[in-house]
Amino acid sequence: MIQAASETGLAGVAQAARAERGLPPVHLWNPAHCGDIDIVIRADGVWMHEGSPIGRAELVRLFSTVLRKDPDGYHLVTPVEKLKITVDDLPFRAVAVERDGDELIFTTDVGDQTAAGPEFPIVVETDPVTGEPAPRVRVRADLWARIARPVFYELVERAALRDGRLIVSSGDADFDLGAVEAGA
């Protein structure tokens, strides 16, 4: 009997996350029980539980490792249950970027690092509602980080101009940050 899989609710989530070194294999877990939990990841990256911010960074970090995006939304997943949460924008924010050789390494607000490349693209898309372009980068699976404004500016500072467009390269892939218009 594996006791680690027995708890439910937030205690179970914490237990499932702690049971693994590195990232838990959430893609392999298909728990029978599903429910909702009052957790909201706000657009500014603050995790709210029952209306109050979760102040402990290590707890947020722990929960983020069992986050999964399914067709019906974001969930915290354990071997025994799947708890739906609310994500206002994207689950993570890219708060720093560094170059390591030919790769751009992004760091997220929960401490993940991701090297941009064909599998982990940088995407600048236009929000269908507001019409505003918004940059993001894939962190793992179908979980993305919104690229914070200063980080985007740092990308632009690293960009090359090709055919009137700002291009950054990372991991043998080129990413288009947008067009440059000539002024006077």
Partner 1 sequence: MSLETLKARLGARLRPVSDWSPDQAPLRSDYDLNPGAARNGAPLRPAAVLAPVMAHEAGASVLLTRRADSLASHTGQIAFPGGRLDPGETAVDAALREAWEEVALPPASVQVLGLGDPYETGSGFLITPVVGWITPPVIVTPSPDEVAEVFETPWDFLMDTAHHRRDHYEMNGARRYFWAMPWNERYIWGVTAGLLKGLHARLYGEDGDRAAEAEDAA
Binding site for partner 1 (CB under 8 A): 99, 101-102, 130-134, 148-154, 156-162, 166-167, 169, 174, 177-184
- Provide the minimum distance between the beta carbon of 55 and partner 1 in the complex, in angstroms, as a whole number: 20
- Provide the minimum distance between the beta carbon of 171 and partner 1 in the complex, in angstroms, as a whole number: 12
Of the pair 81, 103, the CB lying nearest partner 1 is at 103
Contact status, residue 139 vs residue 67, Cβ threshold 8 Å: no
- Provide the minimum distance between the beta carbon of 146 and partner 1 in the complex, in angstroms, as a whole number: 11
Cα gap 31→22, rounded to integer Å: 21
The angle subtended at Cα 159 by Cα 156 and Cα 163, nearest 5°, is: 115
Of the pair 62, 147, the CB lying nearest partner 1 is at 147
Contact status, residue 99 vs residue 91, Cβ threshold 8 Å: no
Total residues found in the chain within this entry: 184
What are the distances in angstroms from CA 148 to CA 31, 119, 152, 156? 34, 20, 6, 12
- Provide the minimum distance between the beta carbon of 84 and partner 1 in the complex, in angstroms, as a whole number: 30
Of the pair 141, 153, the CB lying nearest partner 1 is at 153
